[in-house]
Amino acid sequence: MSKELKKMRRTALLGSAATLLASFALGAGVTGASAQEADTMEDFDLEEVVVTGSRIIRRDVESVSPLSVTSAQDIKLSGFTRIEDLMNSLPQIEAGQTSFIANGASGTANLDLRGMGPTRTLVLVNGRRLQPGGIYSQSPDINQIPPALVKRAEVMTGGGASTYGADAVAGVVNFVMDNDFEGLEITAGISGYQHNNDNEYMQGLMDARGFDYPTGSSGIGGKTYNVDIAFGSDFADDKGHVTVYATWRKNEEMRQGERDYSSCALNNAGTSCGGSANAVIPNFDMYPIDPATGNTIYSYHTSGGELVLSDNGYVQALDDDGNPYELPWANADAINNSIGDVYGGGANKFWSLDPNGGFTGASGNLYNYAPVNHFMRPDERWTGGAFVNYEINEHVRPYMEISFMRDRTEAQIAESGTFFAEEYTISCGADFLTAQQIAQACTDWGLGPDDSFAAYVGKRNVEGGPRIDKLEHNSFRIVFGTEGAITDNWHYDASVQYGSTSSSTAYINDFFSTALRPAVEGGSYPVFGYQAITPEIAAGMTGVGVMNGITKQYIANAYVTGDLGFSMPTAESPVAVVLGTEYRKEVFSRDADEVFAQGLLLGQGGTTESISGSYAVKELFAEASIPLVEDASFAKDLTLELGGRLSDYNTSGTNETYKIGLNWTVMDEVKLRASYNRAVRAPNVAELFAPQSTGLWNGTDPCGGDNPSLTQAQCANTGLSAGAYGSPSLISPASQYNGLFGGNPDLDPEIADTWSFGIVANPLEGFRFSVDYWDIQLDQVIGTVPAELTVEQCGLTGLDVFCDNVNRAPNGSLWLGQGNYVQATNINLASRHFRGIDVTADYEMELFTGTLTTKLTGTYMLKKEFTPLPGVDSATYDCVGVTSTDCFAQPEWRHTLRTTYTSDSFWSASVHWRYFGKVGYDGTVDTLAAQGISAVSYFDLKGTFEINENVGLLVGVNNIFDKEPPLVGGTLSTNANTVAGFYDTLGRYLHASVTVSF
């Protein structure tokens, strides 16, 4: 056996996929490759390979399921130093957690294949699992993947569950590492973002508010520096090979104030700069407290915006239990001229401070919190690792993989605030109130110096600085194994694997709720004094929340593969099989301090409790490749593929996954393929064991504001009184509302069925294409009913399954205070049904004295249907080509097209076109997106230069025309008025790197 073939087998048995020919012959991401192309490979004898999605060694290098490949050349040409930026540019993947997320950042980077969720995308390294990411994420953190060492990244739709186990619902992403690297290579690079700030629409909105913003060229910001070192060599008389690597990458921060289009937060409609009612000069929502009962009087009956007297001369009201009440100590005229929250018009919603010592209307007193928020987080990452193979003899070839990553990032958002989260009781005799304030808040209500009024306060902690979430992740992964020949026809592979990620967060500069109440009510935090708060006072009002967590993954895997020594009567190739077993255990724990556990930081929106749990699974798996027909008139090759896996979970019991596939090579130039796959995803530790706790959801209350989307009768289903219908007080200025979230130990596994049909053809010399239709039906979905959808469906249907989860405060609010929420805990939902077509094509030709190659990868979405609950047809919605509060902005058609000219001398040039089709808008709130999101094209230009045989240079510009990301209103934005991390977020991206190799 040749050394090259031994290396190929080692790579194959470590799970590497084989669209190898595309990578070497064309250096590009394509789907599949034809068997005849094996002749183009000079370095390898391709008598045996392994295809992603199967462990069977075979001659055919085509996957029975749709498979696309991104080569090492594509990775380098992209200029990205974060692997998620590259992967998110693929049409099959939607943006998950990225560096462009600040509020709600997990500090990780994950992949969302087909938009079915990161937990349904199985991520592999050399065919083996990557462990989960950290305290906020149960999905693999691909920050662990060093881009410089990736030989190719393979994306397969469906078909992986029977081979690799659970989580391959949407499919598999397999990173094949260059563990046969030879020599020494050092790459150093620098990159950054530049933009011309000339958005007249956003600048006009900020001028109207008096907000500052940048103009003209931004210069180069958000710089990234990286150094990658790789070394590989044979040892022990070529019996062994070792590859070691180390990488360092540092990203500088960028804040939203560095771009004009993100220098203010748009309102829900996208028509004005919204800002926050938690302002520098505080805003107040104040109510009288009945001196006889101690009840706070929240709302009043109105007529035409004016309070009216009842028949007995008293003002009608509702107490804090929601019961009708009459104010015997006040009159309508006094209240109409005072501080009360009057629904229907008349008085102001909020009051602020007059510099002269009284209360004044708060209209326009908003804080522009956007500029201080991170647009791109700062990050520093170190990685290191090694791949070692050694051949004792042909029967024993041990191998080892080891990797380590340390990543530190900070997610900065605007300063903390009191957020109207608590009702403070203020004595009318308090010495920190001015005489005018006492007259307005007490005397006009008929309250005396021994009585009190209630106040909700909106004060932004600008004196104390922004909130910062300091996130750190340390990942370690090691694989030990051995593989080799049992006989001439049978091979084995046995391995053990351990992966662990320890992570932590220290959340600083958030208001400490237990410190605020006595300070506000006692006057030591002087919110009733005009600009009376100093940085020294603010420093005593904040706390620090700390959490630490660890994930552990233990895997033992062993299998044998070979042929059975017989073939079908119509074929010469023997039947080949795989038989194996696997044990896997997943452990997760998260320890929250009391600050997090009790929700003592006001800016967190609720509690974040500790989690601890584990599950284990024992599995048997088998595969078979059965050549049915060979060298017939109607089929050069017709092969049946079968696979099955029996899994026994200690949490949810036994389930089965299986596959059946058919590869039909009609002739050398045409191949047809079809497959059916059953996949199962068991609930992870967080889904099972996360304590139920409060938090925030983004959206809007459909019963509030000037134009409620639900009728008064429908809003009554949600528990809203007629008097509160359409009130502006129901609308949160920050588009955030209270929710109850958490796990469920009684969850059942998810079940998915995937069908695919495709053709791979080579009709002309140098031209190849593939078209694959795929269909994924997912049932018993683990998730939550979106909170806003719960409120909407409660109103529309009145069904208890929705309405029992809507809990309004007595005044109708879902955000003001803490006694109201929408429940959205984990349950097994009804279904999701996704369907689409993948298209790839590549063409190569000789041109002048060089070679021109063109490669296309595209996806057309046919269906993206969500059914939140069984039996409720009205709740089903289809997200194909639309965006909404429930739908990610994935267009129907999306593609990438790269054209590269490689000269016969020292240079090459590449143009890359990334296209996002038009996305419609399904909603009524966002005026800015009313006509949808227009189609967007980005063009990238790259050049490579061989300075000499040891030095190479790469320079490039992504988004050469400085196209801005599409802007959307507050309910659709993921960060900074756009869908951050999906569309190009920061403008023009410039990058350069130098590679020295020996």
Report whether 862 contacts 880 (CB < 8 A). yes
State the average pLDDT over residues 700-707: 91
As beta bridge partners, residue 174 has: 124, 154
- For residues 1 and 397, which has the higher predicted lDDT (pLDDT)? 397
Beta strand extents in 436-541 (DSSP E only): 452-458, 466-485, 490-511
State the average pLDDT over residues 538-553: 95
The class of domain 3-183 in CATH terms is: mainly beta
- Pairwise CA distance, residues 857 & 869, whole Å: 35
Tell me how far CA of residue 197 lies from CA of 490, 832, 986, in angstroms.
Answer: 64, 41, 11
Query: Is pLDDT above 50 for 887?
Result: yes
pLDDT, tens digit (0-9, with 9 covering 90-100), for 666-676: 998 999 999 99
Residues 6+ apart with CB under 8 A from 269: 925, 926, 927, 928, 969
Report whether 478 contacts 498 (CB < 8 A). yes
Instruction: Provide the pLDDT for residue 285.
Output: 84
Residue 833: pLDDT band with limits 50, 70, 90? very high
What are the residue ranges spanned by the domains of the chain? 3-183, 283-364+419-458
pLDDT, tens digit (0-9, with 9 covering 90-100), for 718-773: 999 998 999 888 988 778 899 988 888 888 899 999 999 999 999 999 999 999 99
Least confident of 66-70, 508-512, 809-813: 66-70
Least confident of 325-339, 797-811, 860-874, 905-919: 325-339
pLDDT, tens digit (0-9, with 9 covering 90-100), for 212-225: 999 999 999 999 99
Alpha carbon of residue 287 to chain centroid:
41
User: HSE-up of 307 (CA within 13 Å, CB side)?
Assistant: 25
- CB burial of 46-72 (b: ≥16 within 10 Å; e: otherwise) equals bebbbbbbbbbbbebbbbbbbbbbbbb
Q: What is the pTM of this model?
A: 0.83
Tell me how far CA of residue 27 lies from CA of 81, 141, 906, 997, in angstroms.
Answer: 19, 26, 17, 19
CA dihedral 624, 625, 629, 634 (to 10 degrees): 120
Residues 6+ apart with CB under 8 A from 932: 882, 883, 918, 919, 920, 921
pLDDT, tens digit (0-9, with 9 covering 90-100), for 449-505: 999 998 989 999 999 999 999 999 999 999 999 999 999 999 999 999 999 999 999
Tell me how far CA of residue 812 lies from CA of 340, 418, 789, 851, in angstroms.
Answer: 16, 20, 18, 68
Q: What DSSP string describes 891-952?
A: -SEEEEEEEEEE-SSSEEEEEEEEEE--BEE--SS-STTTT-B--EEEEEEEEEEESSSSEE
Element (H, E) at 7: helix 3-13
- Pairwise CA distance, residues 149 & 131, whole Å: 19
Query: Is pLDDT above 90 for 407?
Result: yes
State the average pLDDT over residues 671-686: 92
Residue 52: pLDDT band with limits 50, 70, 90? confident
pLDDT, tens digit (0-9, with 9 covering 90-100), for 420-443: 888 899 999 999 999 999 998 888
Local structure of 761: helix, strand or coil: strand
- Mean pLDDT (the chain) is 86
Element (H, E) at 787: helix 787-797
The radius of gyration of the chain's CA atoms, rounded to the nearest angstrom, is 31
Dig out the tokens for 222 from the structure.
């958000």
Instruction: Provide the pLDDT for residue 58.
Output: 58
Residue 312: pLDDT band with limits 50, 70, 90? very low
Residue 40: pLDDT band with limits 50, 70, 90? very low
Query: Is pLDDT above 60 for 28?
Result: no
- Pairwise CA distance, residues 544 & 491, whole Å: 56
